[in-house]
Structure 1
Amino acid sequence: MSRTERLLDLIQLLRRHRAPVAGPALADELGISIRTLYRDIATLQAQGADIQGEPGVGYVLRPGFTLPPLMFSADEIEALVLGSRWVARRAEDPRLGDAAANALSKITAVLPDELRDSVDGSNLLVGGGEVIPAQVDLSAIRLAIREQRKLVIAYRNAGGTATERTIWPFAIGFFDRVRVVIGWCELRTDYRHFRLDRIDRMEMLAERYPRRRAAMLKEWREREGIPVR
């Protein structure tokens, strides 16, 4: 285990306890010596962690400490690299791809050398594949979701029949070949899924829809039997 991972484990262990925890108990659970524990606590305090206590009394982490990027574990770094690479290559949204690359660059810039090397040398690759191109701007749909705005769309179903719908978008699904916007359809008075490659045109209205998107997402998940993680 690297020192960075050990510090992360110590922070997570302290987070689980509201009352002070004795140093020997912390050292035993982490599998380190008490001297190493004292050094690690001093390191975290120097980085801004509000750890209060002293040898013989116990230690407690006060609320409000946000882990700096260097506290990511190797597995978490690989997850971030893989996710950003997938978004850049497969999301079919240039602005989202650029944002993913920029975010990863900001994180990488403040990582210690041992973790920065794992970013540069990550062997988790995103494969290619055909994505059916959308006819509308995916970033505009994301904006409508963030601002809880209604969308008017001209939509063709699988049989080619065209209809005009006013929807309340609250989520986007990214599948292997298609992208799907999920929303409440005023025409059907129910939740519906709309493939982006079948939306011929789209207009975002100034009008906000009357329900909270988080509430609709929760209701839709329950109806579809999709667990919340």
Structure 2
Amino acid sequence: MRRADRLFLLIHALRGRRSAITAQRLAQELGVSLRTVYRDVADLQRSGVPIEGEAGVGYLLRKGSDIPPLMFTPDELEALVVGTRFVRAFGGNRLGREAAAALLKIEAVLPPELRERSDRTRIFAPEVDRLENSGLIDDLHAAVTSALVLRMNYRDNDSRTTAREIEPLCLAFWGGSWTLGAWCRLRGDFRNFRPDRIVDYAPTGETFVETRERGLAAYMKAVQG
């Protein structure tokens, strides 16, 4: 995380709070060390940010330095909280971190009654050991975003493994399983691949350019029948 982003998140974590937040909790929420929190707080105080408190006690922004709360209804807020929990559990490591950071920014500027509603939300998506935590979804997402040709060994329904070169176009989550939509150069057609059946994979170093016949719009038309 860039230092500027970290300082921004630290300020947002302090905004709108009636009681001090400990350095330990700030470190956990930001994913940094206690030493980093102490150093960042001291730097912000020296630059004029009205942070009160001290190490071992906790920190908060001086009264009157808050910004107006975001205007969410309770149901809108619950949707954001639940959505963030699902992204953290199923969206891969990178998007999970960014979702947590986004929720931290939102909750930091909520009025107390809405923050309490956020804490009471009883829909959870536990972050247990699963495919999304392996880094595979992050890598496939990066390949889709950067239009990277992938070479992989893929296991089919009959446990036969074939070597493929694919042009990855999109990822889809089906509430328990993922599919990777791609143009398969071996088959000369669109195919859906299950990430859990990818034996191994690597970028070829080649990028591809989507065309009318082999791009995302053509893929969506093909899979929709």
CA change 1:204–1:134 in 2 (3 A) is farther
Number of corresponding residues: 157
Amino acid at match of 2:170: A
Partner of 2:81: 81
AA aligned to 2:157 is A
Whether the aligned pair in 2 keeps the contact of 1:134 and 1:197 (CA below 8 Å) is: no
Relative to structure 1, the CA distance from residue 75 to residue 225 in structure 2 (aligned partners, 3 Å threshold; closer, same or farther) is farther
Equivalent position of 2:176 in the other structure: 177
Distance 1:132 1:149, change over 3 A: closer
Q: Classify 1:109/1:128 alpha carbon distance in 2 versus 1 (closer, same or farther; 3 Å).
A: closer
Q: 1:175 to 1:69 in 2, by over 3 A?
A: farther
Aligned to 2:64: none
2:146 corresponds to: 147
CA distance in 2, matches of 1:180, 1:134: 16
**Quick check: 1:180–1:194 contact (8 Å CA) kept in 2?**
yes
**Contact 1:135–1:201 at 8 Å: present in 2 too?**
no
Counterpart for residue 18 of structure 2: none
Letter in 2 for 1:104: L
Q: Give, in angstroms, the shift of residue 200 of structure 1.
A: 0.8
Partner letter of residue 76 of structure 1? Answer: E
2:161 aligns with: 162
The whole-number CA distance in structure 2 between the counterparts of 1:123 and 1:174 is 23
CA contact (8 A) 1:166 1:187 kept: yes
Tell me how far apart the structure 2 counterparts of residues 179 and 100 of structure 1 sit (CA, whole Å): 19
1:136 CA drift (Å): 6.5
1:202-217 alignment to 2 at 5 Å?
202-211=201-210, 216-217=215-216
In the TM superposition, residue 135 of structure 1 has moved relative to its aligned partner by 7.4
TM-score when normalising by structure 1: 0.59
Q: In angstroms, what is the RMSD of aligned CA positions?
A: 3.0
Counterpart check, 1:197 vs 2:196: yes
Question: In 1, are the aligned partners of 2:181 and 2:219 still within 8 Å (CA)?
Answer: no
How far apart are residue 146 of structure 1 and its match? 1.1
Sort the Cα spacing of 1:147 and 1:189 in 2 relative to 1 into closer, same or farther, 3 A: same
* Contact 1:152 1:167 (8 Å CA) reproduced: yes
Counterpart residue identity of residue 163, structure 1: T
Match of 1:137 in 2: 136
Work out whether residues 168 and 183 of structure 1, in 8 Å CA contact, stay in contact via their aligned partners in 2: yes
The runs of 5 or more residues in structure 2 that have no matched partner are 1-67
* Identity across the alignment (%): 34
Structure 1 unaligned regions, length at least 5: 1-67
Name the CA distance, whole Å, in 2 between partners of 1:182 and 1:202.
Answer: 15
Letter in 1 for 2:87: V
Asked which structure has the greater CA Rg, the reply is 1
Q: Which whole-Å CA distance do the structure 1 matches of 2:147 and 2:69 have between them?
A: 31
8 Å Cα contact 1:153/1:166 also seen in 2: yes
2:133 and 2:100 map into 1 onto residues whose CA distance is 22
With normalisation by structure 2, the TM-score equals 0.60
Q: Residue 124 of structure 1 corresponds to which residue in structure 2?
A: 123
